[in-house]
Amino acid sequence: MKAEYLKRFFFVVPFFVLWVAFSNNSWGWGFKHSDDDKGKHYHGHVNEDPGPRHYGTAHEKPKEEPKAEPKPDMLITSMAYPTGNKDCCSVIYMEKIAPRTGAVGVPYEYTIKVTNLIDSKVEDVEVLHSLPGNFTVTSVDPATVSSISDSMKEGVAVWELGTLEAHETKIIKVAGTPSAEGKMPFCTDLEYRLPDICLEPDILQPKLMLSKKAPEKVLLCDTIPLTFEVKNSGTGFAKNVQIKESLPEGLTTQDGHSSVILKVGTLAPGESRTATLNVTAEEIGEYHNVATAVADGGLSVESNKTTTVVQQPELKITKTGPEKIYLGRNITYDISVSNVGNGPAASTVVTDTILANATFISASDGGVMSGNAIQWNVGTLQPNDSKKMSVTLKPNGMGTVEDKAAAEAVCADAVSATAKTDVLGIAAILLEVIDVEDPVEVGKNVTYIITVTNQGSEHSKNVRITCTLEPTMGYVSSSGPTAGTLGGEGKVVTFSPLPSLAPKAQASWKVVVNAAEAGDVRFKVDMTDDRLERPVEETEATHFYE
């Protein structure tokens, strides 16, 4: 490009100088072929002192120019490429600014401004600038393609400005010293290249991403929330997006389905949406699953794999206490509750209910009495954990005390255990024998009163009385709640068994004996019942005299 310009430059400049020498015009020229200005031409050279444009024809004298105004101190000339009109249809505007006059040996500096007029970049901008022989360049900014000395030898300076962005201006500064009197013409031209006209259609491609979340552990009674997030990470719209979920065996939706399609619709690029599906487990176990998202155009993607362990607490309760106890003693029942399942038993509560024949005395471990029940708030029992407590009751009477303990917790089946205790009484029999008359004259009768008192708490069953007379005694009669029978050669009186003698009750029998001989005699009584292993004996002494 530079060599071609140099040829053009060195061919044109001699003629230009001659024309300047013989012309009365300022820098600039042209031809006018008709009065209506048809055929006007304005060349793109930029001179140091442009002056007004001149028109003429081959047959007309140039008209006299009006008297020129005083010239300013600075020379300013410009050109718009390629039309010459800065305001219409041009690409680059170049402007040169220099002092109107200079002096030999005195530094001289001028500026070239190159401006991109359009809204897009212009590439490969190159400025070509002639250097007159009577001007020695001392510095340039920016640097020229060749060195200053080489540029001076060639008579031309070249700047490769590269790319001008939209409406960008780049400035070239040249400094030097005039070396001889006379005109010092600086001519400048430029070349550029507009960017290629390109079409860049966007080719869009939607892309699906699917993530799935599920709780790691749940209880059998819990609802399992499955959360899906589907995202379009591509550049195009994903249409008719659906999430397909095929549940593993043992999991179903709340309405009993195992396969579900969640309709998402259209996802714009970068858009994501979230969907939730609630499912339930039929039994404990470990459940694995992967969901799929699909869309128009054959788009399909699988989610990450989720694992959910379904657990269940299982309560076990035991209750122990005495099978029997005597009335007057308290009963203590020991209760133990444990979690034998694989899930935590939250909010565990133990309740002990007094069913019959007892009164609450105390409870261990903070048990609280309310109504006829005692309650313990155990809290959470982890798998294989257990908790023990006890309750003490007082029997209200003989019979059976029945007490029931129950335990319940979140997601666990309630359990219970019942204990029964027989409350027994003790038959404490008191036997008393007295003689109504003492001493007794021989030939007279004496009456013996036999009294049996049940001092215990239990009925005495089948009380049997047997009376033994000594040889000096003669049997006369007997009476009482049961009939007496004489046997043993007339010396033994046996009464029929008294079926029952209630606690604190008494029964009395009488035996009348005749004093046959004088002496110190003994009236002996034996008593037995069903609970006595040996008979109770009682003897009453009587003095017979003559």
Tokens of 98: 């220099």
pLDDT tier, 148 (very low <50, low <70, confident <90, very high otherwise): confident
- Quick one: average pLDDT of 145-155? 87
Distance in angstroms (rounded) separating the CA atoms of residues 362 and 392: 5
Specify the DSSP element, H or E, that contains 150.
Answer: helix 148-154
pLDDT tier, 182 (very low <50, low <70, confident <90, very high otherwise): very high
Highest mean pLDDT among 4-8, 33-37, 131-135: 131-135
Per-residue model confidence (pLDDT) at position 263 = 95
pLDDT tier, 67 (very low <50, low <70, confident <90, very high otherwise): low
Residue 29 has pLDDT above 90, yes or no: no
Per-residue model confidence (pLDDT) at position 427 = 78
pLDDT tier, 11 (very low <50, low <70, confident <90, very high otherwise): very low
- Quick one: average pLDDT of 426-432? 88
pLDDT tier, 69 (very low <50, low <70, confident <90, very high otherwise): low
Residue 12 has pLDDT above 70, yes or no: no
- Quick one: average pLDDT of 132-154? 90
Residue 5 has pLDDT above 90, yes or no: no
Least confident of 12-16, 29-33, 341-345: 29-33
Per-residue H/E/C for 396-463: CCCEEEEEEEEEEECCEEEEEEEEEEEEECCCCEEEEEEECCCCEECCCEEEEEEEEEECCCCCEEEE
Q: What are the φ/ψ torsions at residue 270 (nearest 5 degrees)?
A: 80, -5
In our burial notation (b when 16+ CB lie closer than 10 A, e otherwise), range 498-509 reads bebbebeeebeb
| Adjacency order of strands within the sheet including 251-253 | 208-213, 224-232, 272-281, 251-253
Per-residue model confidence (pLDDT) at position 59 = 41
Please give the angle made by the CA atoms of 72, 75 and 81, to the nearest 5 degrees. 135
pLDDT tier, 521 (very low <50, low <70, confident <90, very high otherwise): very high
- Quick one: average pLDDT of 109-134? 94
Q: Give 359-409 pLDDT, tens digit per residue.
A: 999 999 999 998 889 999 999 999 999 999 999 999 998 889 999 999 999
Distance in angstroms (rounded) separating the CA atoms of residues 12 and 238: 66
Provide, rounded to the nearest whole percent, the portion of the chain with pLDDT above 70.
87
Per-residue model confidence (pLDDT) at position 196 = 84
Token look-up 């005749």 returns 514
Per-residue H/E/C for 116-144: ECCCCCEEEEEEEEECCCCEEEEEEECCC
Hey, which residues does 212 pair with through a beta bridge? 228
User: Going by DSSP bridges, is the β-strand pair 272-281/224-232 parallel, antiparallel, or unpaired?
Assistant: antiparallel
Per-residue model confidence (pLDDT) at position 70 = 58
Per-residue model confidence (pLDDT) at position 30 = 33
- Quick one: average pLDDT of 66-74? 67
Per-residue model confidence (pLDDT) at position 35 = 39
Per-residue model confidence (pLDDT) at position 519 = 94
Per-residue model confidence (pLDDT) at position 181 = 93
Tokens of 247: 């549940």
Query: All domains of the chain, ordered by start, with CATH?
Result: 2-64+71-193 (2.60.40.1170), 208-311 (2.60.40.10), 315-424 (2.60.40.10), 429-545 (2.60.40.10)
Residue 333 has pLDDT above 60, yes or no: yes
Per-residue model confidence (pLDDT) at position 64 = 58
- Quick one: average pLDDT of 284-302? 95
Per-residue model confidence (pLDDT) at position 328 = 85
pTM equals 0.54
User: Going by DSSP bridges, is the β-strand pair 217-219/306-311 parallel, antiparallel, or unpaired?
Assistant: parallel
| Adjacency order of strands within the sheet including 108-116 | 74-81, 92-99, 108-116, 169-178, 135-141
Q: Are 348 and 405 in contact (CB under 8 A)?
A: no
pLDDT tier, 48 (very low <50, low <70, confident <90, very high otherwise): very low
Token look-up 């399942």 returns 341
Residue 274 has pLDDT above 90, yes or no: yes
- Quick one: average pLDDT of 32-53? 37
Per-residue model confidence (pLDDT) at position 141 = 94
Token look-up 């209506």 returns 36
Q: Give 184-198 pLDDT, tens digit per residue.
A: 998 999 999 988 888
Distance in angstroms (rounded) separating the CA atoms of residues 128 and 144: 10
Per-residue model confidence (pLDDT) at position 356 = 84
- Residues near 31 by Cβ (< 8 Å), separated by ≥ 6? 39, 40, 41, 55, 56, 57
Tokens of 494: 């046996």
The rounded mean pLDDT for the chain is 87
Provide, rounded to the nearest whole percent, the portion of the chain with pLDDT above 90.
75
Tokens of 468: 């033994």
More confident residue, 470 or 72: 470
- Residues near 256 by Cβ (< 8 Å), separated by ≥ 6? none
Least confident of 61-70, 135-144, 468-477, 482-491: 61-70
Per-residue model confidence (pLDDT) at position 331 = 94
Residue 47 has pLDDT above 80, yes or no: no
Residue 14 has pLDDT above 60, yes or no: no
Residue 16 has pLDDT above 80, yes or no: no
Per-residue model confidence (pLDDT) at position 66 = 60
- Quick one: average pLDDT of 8-21? 39
Its sign, for the CA torsion 282, 283, 284, 289, is negative
541 phi-psi bin (left φ>0, alpha ψ -120 to 50, beta other): beta
Residue 240 has pLDDT above 60, yes or no: yes
CA distances (Å), origin 57, targets 20, 25, 30, 33, 39: 19, 15, 9, 5, 10
